[in-house]
């Protein structure tokens, strides 16, 4: 019989420092992520999965509360080519694992393990479409709960606690959380306490893409690392300032990555 061992963290992973807080990108690629998720399904161990990108780096630099939430995430992958490029500069390479791309593989893993899932975020109409799409693609997949929090939702307030208690009572073992940063990561952090057997995956707009209410960039643009441009062209007023801030965070992040590279040589 093969014994499944826990995730063995790289002693020198790609890391980002924000004051006294260090965030490690501790999952190098999608294969490692799915292997770890499958192991946790088998062992009944939950998790909180975060997908770090430049927008998150901006928020982490500015918000100590978000740093605390992020440091509590169990699994962190690189969501965005700039994070991958920074990891190469640091000589601690990781592969691209976009949050939107891991939704179906995670559901496939849940289906294979025979565990139920929960959907939290977006709107009720989107959740209905997603449930139908997932049940069609994975016959027999049980969707134990769907919750679309209202505007102004506090991800660590009373309503969040009520949703998490429902998730725990329904024995959902995977929860796809689509509320955007920092709300989804804060919800996942609280979920680790209230529903410890459930894995919380923060996936941004992942559910809207499945429902078809938002369009992803064409495959060629994604291959050319131009998905950000596609998004900005679709919603320039909302995203132009965000991407400017992301561009501004790159120089100090590159310097930090270079320091990591030099530290590895010493």
Per-residue pLDDT tens over the stretch 63-98: 999 999 999 999 999 998 999 999 999 999 999 999
158-191 tens-digit pLDDT: 999 999 999 999 999 999 999 999 999 999 999 9
For the chain, the C-alpha Rg in angstroms (whole number) is 18
- How does DSSP classify residue 116? E
Which CA distances in Å does 231 have to 69, 223, 236? 27, 15, 8
**Rounded Cα–Cα distance for residues 65 and 96 (Å):** 26
Q: How far apart are CA 119 and CA 130, in angstroms?
A: 9
What's the CA angle centered on 145, arms 187 and 164, to 5 degrees? 30
Mean pLDDT value of segment 192-214:
94
C-alpha–C-alpha distance, residues 117 and 198, integer Å = 9
Q: Round to whole Å and give the CA distance between 49 and 7.
A: 13
pLDDT in tens, 228-256: 777 777 787 777 888 889 989 999 999 99
Residues in CB range of 163: below 8 A, 6 or more apart? 120, 145, 147, 149
Tell me what the pLDDT averaged over the chain comes to.
Answer: 92
User: Residue 173's closest CA among 139, 141, 197?
Assistant: 197
Report the C-alpha gap between 236 and 231 in whole angstroms: 8
More confident residue, 50 or 238: 50
**Range with the lowest mean pLDDT among 8-17, 29-38, 117-126, 144-153?**
8-17
Is residue 255 classed exposed, middle or buried when 0-12, 13-18 and 19+ CB atoms within 10 A define those classes?
exposed
- ∠ at Cα 175 (170, 181), nearest 5°? 140
Q: Which residues pair with 143 in a beta bridge?
A: 117
Please state whether the peptide bond connecting residue 182 to the residue before it is cis, i.e. omega within 30 degrees of 0. yes
Residues in the chain: 266
The pLDDT of residue 35 = 97
Q: Provide the token pair at 33.
A: 């992520």
Q: Is 226 helix (H, G, I), strand (E, B) or coil?
A: coil
Query: Is it the case that residue 5 has pLDDT exceeding 60?
Result: no
Work out whether strand 14-18 and strand 143-147 pair parallel, antiparallel, or are unpaired.
unpaired
Query: Cβ-count burial of 251 within 10 angstroms (0-12 exposed, 13-18 middle, 19+ buried)?
Result: exposed
């Amino acid at each position: 019989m093969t014994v499944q061992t826990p995730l063995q963290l790289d002693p020198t992973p790609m890391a980002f420092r924000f004051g006294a807080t260090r965030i490690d990108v501790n999952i190098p690629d999608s294969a490692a992520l799915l292997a770890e998720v499958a192991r946790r399904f088998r062992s009944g161990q939950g998790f909180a999965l975060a997908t770090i990108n430049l927008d998150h780096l901006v928020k982490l630099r500015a918000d100590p509360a978000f740093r605390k939430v992020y440091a509590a995430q169990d699994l962190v992958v690189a969501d965005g080519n700039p994070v991958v490029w920074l990891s190469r500069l640091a000589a601690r390479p990781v592969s691209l694992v976009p949050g939107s791309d891991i939704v179906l593989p995670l559901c496939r893993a849940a289906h294979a393990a025979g565990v139920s899932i929960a959907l939290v975020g977006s709107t009720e109409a989107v959740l209905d479409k997603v449930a139908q799409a997932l049940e069609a693609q994975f016959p027999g997949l049980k969707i134990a709960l769907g919750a679309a929090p209202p505007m102004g939702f506090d991800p660590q307030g009373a309503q969040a606690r009520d949703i998490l208690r429902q998730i725990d009572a329904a024995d959902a073992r995977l929860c796809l959380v689509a509320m955007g940063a920092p709300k989804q990561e804060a919800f996942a952090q609280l979920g680790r306490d209230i529903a410890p057997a459930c894995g919380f995956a923060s996936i941004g707009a992942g559910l809207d893409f499945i429902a078809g209410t938002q369009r992803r960039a064409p495959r060629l643009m994604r291959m050319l690392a131009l998905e950000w441009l596609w998004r900005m062209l679709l919603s320039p007023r909302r995203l132009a300032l965000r991407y400017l801030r992301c561009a501004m965070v790159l120089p100090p992040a590159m310097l930090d990555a270079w320091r990591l590279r030099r530290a590895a040589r010493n």
